[in-house]
Structure 1
Amino acid sequence: MAEVQAKQAHTRTESSTSSETAYSTSEIQTVKQAHTRTDSSTSSDMAYSTDTYAADEKKHSYSASTTSQTSVSSITKANRESYQSTSSDLEANAEFDDYSQKRFGFVRYTALNVYRRLFSLAFIGNAIAFVYLMVKGAAPLDLVNASAINLAVCGLCRHPLVVNSLFLTFGSVPRSAPMRLRRLACKIFHLGGVHSGTGVASCVWYIGFAGTYTYHFQPSPASIAVLVLIWFVLALLLAIIAVAHPAFRAKRHDYFELTHRFSNWAILALFWVLIFLLGTQDGSLSTFLINLPAFWILILLTLATIHPWLLLRRVPVKAEPLSPHAVRLHFSHATVRFGQGISVARHPLADWHSFASFTDQFDAPDTNFSCLVSKAGDWTRQAIAAPPTHLWKRGVPTYGFGYVFRMFERIIVVTTGSGIGPCLSFIEDAKRPEMRVVWQTKSPLKTYGQRTLDLVKRMDEEPVVIDTSVSGRVDMLPIVLRLYKEFGADAVCVISNPQMTRSLVYGLETRGIAAYGPIFDS
């Protein structure tokens, strides 16, 4: 024991006298998980192997703590600069979890999260109006107009130009604004709650229309055709809602996307036929259409649906294989700004995949921007095994989750695996916040390469990089809590798999910390 402690002390002394210590590519320093330690001080002292332990007592100007920081994990040098990361011992991090739990936090951040509140607001407001009109005795065309209005809001919530406008508006909140206002503005990525709430509400209005028309049905060749179309459209609306359920969407995403897209197109086409057939029963078709709000709404929806496809292009791709588990795709067809992403596909009518993008100006100036792709399904697996030379793109680059973090002074960026790709978009923003990075992944140097690690270091000179191939998965909440306090951060950005994102964001929000992570419908 004395020899182990002496070696540790000697290592700390050497690291304090040298700002940079060279490591070979095979040396990865990681921390063992706190739960593997015993209560005895002897076992605690022996938790680290002297062969893999390294400490860095470099003081940070932003640190509020006077104690030295021991290494949580570090990435090694690969024929280039030494790449080290520093933080605190997991066991010591426990003392920083002195936050009081918010009252009703479980309900507020699960059942009543912002997404569900927006959904409820959109749906319940429509439900009250629906019940009132049905009791009063609404005309069938009133129900059609109400359904069309909700469909318009639902569809426009997903149009790239509308999304960009909303993110630019909410993201323009200045850093001098009250923290409460900034925390609320940052929730704009929960806009999917409005999309789904109005989508379900439109179906309810349409069911009322179908029921009312059927109840007052009078047989004729035109009315029979109208009745068939009404119920066929309703079947498509119900199919869209069914496949959009999170459980189905997670397991059968390709079926969800194809059903969503082609059913939407079919509904638009059938709605046009339906309105014209209704107009022929009214006497004057032109007067009927001009005075029908659903007609003008249908024109708007048709244009909004066509617009992204007018920008459909097949663009060249330069693939940079990183490992059997990841590839970096470089593009030159456009330029992107901080926080933007693109949608790409191998075939324009097949499944589309959205990726956050980041600039190539620092390490690949021959192209404009990149997307980091790692194994997460059939499409990504194929992209890695057989890198594409061309891909289809549609629409315009769209702002996403990360853009709103510009309104904060200091943030903690927490990610796992290929989630580092979206985080890398921060490096090109001149007004980006100061940040600390916590990245947990398997064999980061081997999987993502030295160039990726160099880009990570542009965001944080001493990122906390946890190699799970050595340490196993560790609980990142204690690490984040300590960094949050020491760094004086305003918010925490989490980009990981859904389970990890929900767990970490929940743990932070219930402690009163502004934490954000993309959800399934962001």
Structure 2
Amino acid sequence: MEDTEMKIARFSSCRGVSFEINSNRSNPFAVESPTKPERTTGTWLWIPWTRNNSFKILPQSQAHIITSPTRSRASSHFCDINIDADDVELEFLAEFQDIENQEKANSVKQQKLLQKPDPSPRNSRLSIILLDQGFTVYKGLFLVCITLNMIALALSATGHFPYAKSRATLFSIGNILALTLCRSEAVLRVVFWFTVKTIGNICVPLKIKTATTSFLQSIGGIHSSCGVCSIAWLVYSLVLTIENNDKNTSPEILGVAFTILSLISLSSLAAFPLIRHLHHNLFERIHRFSGWMALILLWLFILLTISYDPTSKTYHLTIKKMVKTQECWLTLFITILIMIPWLSIKRVQVSVTAPSNHASIIKFEGGVKPGLLGRISPSPLSEWHAFGIISDGKKEHIMLAGAVGDFTKSLVSSPPKHLWIRSVHFAGLPYLINLYQKVLLVATGSGICVFLSFLLQPTKADVCLIWVAKDIEMNFGKEITDLVGRYSKEKVIVHDTAVSGRPNVAEMSVNAAIHWNVEVVIVTSNPEGSRDVVRACNKAKVPAFGPIWDS
């Protein structure tokens, strides 16, 4: 609509909150009506770029960061990218009522815009997770680990690796130790801290930092592959024992070994993406309790093996035998790693408020450094939930929980007075923001919680923020919007989908990354949204990272 002045009556600034145009409001998210810009070639759009009633004007070449102003659906934990055709029509009708003196050509364009788009099939979240991500670092690590183990297994089976053939059980336990290390929150906390301290210097090339980020984010690929390989080595060990009719092994030892194999296989099957995605609570319980039972039986297996006397067919255990056994030491390390997080759990008093039926705010005592995440639970043996931590680093920290599951919905309907927590917070992708000098943070919905601490505390990284949400103050409360409002007005874009419609977050992220000249983009959204932002940024030669499956 060239040479046409558009009167946009409403603006937005974060995922989930409407912002009224009211210059007299003290709320930093109140948007002041812009004055009329001078007429220039192309179309100019006013968008709320900063808080405190400030604007930036983008010409046509940049105006595409805002898409059709459609009304979004009910807020959820993530920003739903799917566009409702009926909403498209209603919102455009409302907007075009404010357009005056339209030329005849523009009225034709308007009618085209009002036509309902053909509904296009939308990929499921699971298909996006498994099939639509291409060849990722996660899959690469999985294949490398599988390949190395299969080569060693093949060499052993052909007689070219006699040590592995005689110690197949040790290789199985070694894989279990490796997968435990990859999931130990205490170990990873140290690894992430050491990584930031060593390569977070400005003199380290950006390619090294991004490669390290990709590896640490995808370390779950090693965890998964080692689980499969531990099963393969244990099967190989049992086959050798049965084929050789080994007299050094008792029926009890074989029975325990087969039980361990069954438990590990059950745990691995429960972690299969389809089951984990559709029945997460079932996966968590099976994965935990079958793993614990397998560990207990592994100790029994080792003690029976080293104490069995094939001559007398009796058991005689000594400390000297245990100390000399490699399997015993590896199992001890596995046990310690598994016990560490459980030794840090405690029941604490919390304050839970619900600004809406879409989210809850949970407050805890004690300040927390930016980039760390925490786990909470209503019942520590049944389920644990991870959330980003918002803190100014002083007296308290809070978690923002979108009401998308049974537990998070119960926080809204029946706020608890106490919750179980793990005192040792863990590091994830947000912690690696500290590696870089300037970073663009892109969040949708309650995903903002993993980034807010970087806005509230002085950090090494200079961060800029895009937050896309619906009815922000209504869904997330004034407290959260005020926290965002404290940050530099020149480094924040907040977009309310209930007012300005669903934006093209990918294009918005690319334009903002170029505008702010950032080193890297970190996004937290749903699988489809994260994928689109990462792809668009990478295509524009801007490194970008988002949450991945099993990250």
Give TM class, smaller chain: 0.7 to 0.9
CA contact 1:55–1:70 (8 Å) conserved in 2: no
- For 1:55 and 1:212, the matched residues in 2 are separated by 82
Q: Which residue of 1 aligns with 2:418?
A: 390
Once the two structures are superposed, residues 174-208 of structure 1 have per-residue CA deviations (whole angstroms, 9 ceiling, x without a partner) of 12211111211222222212222222222211121
Once the two structures are superposed, residues 267-288 of structure 1 have per-residue CA deviations (whole angstroms, 9 ceiling, x without a partner) of 1100111112222334664354
Deviation at 1:24, TM superposition (A): 9.3
Taking the TM superposition and a 5 Å limit, the aligned residue runs for 1:251-400 are 251-282=278-309, 285-286=317-318, 288-332=321-365, 334-360=366-392, 367-400=395-428
**2:62 aligned residue (86, 92, 102):** 92
CA contact 2:65–2:503 (8 Å) conserved in 1: no
Q: Which residue of 2 aligns with 1:452?
A: 480
Q: Which residue of 1 aligns with 2:496?
A: 467
Secondary structure at the counterpart of residue 411 of structure 1 = strand
Matched AA of 2:368 = V
Taking the TM superposition and a 5 Å limit, the aligned residue runs for 1:414-493 are 414-462=442-490, 463-493=492-522
Secondary structure at the counterpart of residue 263 of structure 1 = helix
Inter-CA distance 28–513: structure 2 relative to 1 (3 Å threshold): same
Inter-CA distance 129–405: structure 2 relative to 1 (3 Å threshold): same
| Residue 212 (structure 2) pairs with residue 185 (structure 1) | yes
Structure 1 portions without partners, runs of 5+: 9-19, 30-51, 58-66, 76-80, 97-108
Inter-CA distance 193–391: structure 2 relative to 1 (3 Å threshold): same
| Residue 142 (structure 2) pairs with residue 119 (structure 1) | yes
Q: Which residue of 1 aligns with 2:155?
A: 132
- For 1:237 and 1:399, the matched residues in 2 are separated by 27
- For 2:6 and 2:246, the matched residues in 1 are separated by 95
Deviation at 1:414, TM superposition (A): 0.8
Normalising by structure 1, what TM-score? 0.79
- For 1:277 and 1:87, the matched residues in 2 are separated by 75
CA contact 1:154–1:194 (8 Å) conserved in 2: yes
Once the two structures are superposed, residues 466-508 of structure 1 have per-residue CA deviations (whole angstroms, 9 ceiling, x without a partner) of 2222333221122112111121111111011122112221222
Inter-CA distance 124–168: structure 2 relative to 1 (3 Å threshold): same
Inter-CA distance 321–144: structure 2 relative to 1 (3 Å threshold): same
- For 2:446 and 2:453, the matched residues in 1 are separated by 13
**2:169 aligned residue (140, 144, 148):** 144
Secondary structure at the counterpart of residue 506 of structure 2 = helix
Matched AA of 2:329 = W
Matched AA of 2:5 = Q
- For 2:65 and 2:469, the matched residues in 1 are separated by 25
When the two chains are superposed, the root-mean-square deviation of aligned CA atoms in Å is 3.4
Matched AA of 2:140 = R
Secondary structure at the counterpart of residue 299 of structure 1 = helix
Q: Which moved more, 1:439-448 or 1:497-506?
A: 497-506
CA contact 1:313–1:394 (8 Å) conserved in 2: yes
CA contact 1:415–1:438 (8 Å) conserved in 2: yes
Q: Which residue of 1 aligns with 2:229?
A: 201
- For 2:183 and 2:283, the matched residues in 1 are separated by 16
Q: Which moved more, 1:489-498 or 1:423-432?
A: 423-432
Q: Which residue of 1 aligns with 2:202?
A: 175
Deviation at 1:84, TM superposition (A): 5.5
**2:539 aligned residue (502, 510, 513):** 510
Select the structure with the greater relative contact order (CA < 8 A; seq sep ≥ 6).
2
Secondary structure at the counterpart of residue 354 of structure 1 = strand
- For 1:430 and 1:180, the matched residues in 2 are separated by 25
- For 2:292 and 2:36, the matched residues in 1 are separated by 59
- For 1:497 and 1:351, the matched residues in 2 are separated by 22
Inter-CA distance 232–83: structure 2 relative to 1 (3 Å threshold): farther
- For 1:448 and 1:481, the matched residues in 2 are separated by 26
- For 2:423 and 2:532, the matched residues in 1 are separated by 33
Secondary structure at the counterpart of residue 435 of structure 1 = strand
| Residue 97 (structure 2) pairs with residue 72 (structure 1) | no
CA contact 2:164–2:171 (8 Å) conserved in 1: no
Q: Which residue of 1 aligns with 2:11?
A: none
Secondary structure at the counterpart of residue 433 of structure 2 = helix
Structure 2 portions without partners, runs of 5+: 9-21, 67-131, 311-315
Inter-CA distance 474–296: structure 2 relative to 1 (3 Å threshold): same
- For 2:246 and 2:6, the matched residues in 1 are separated by 95
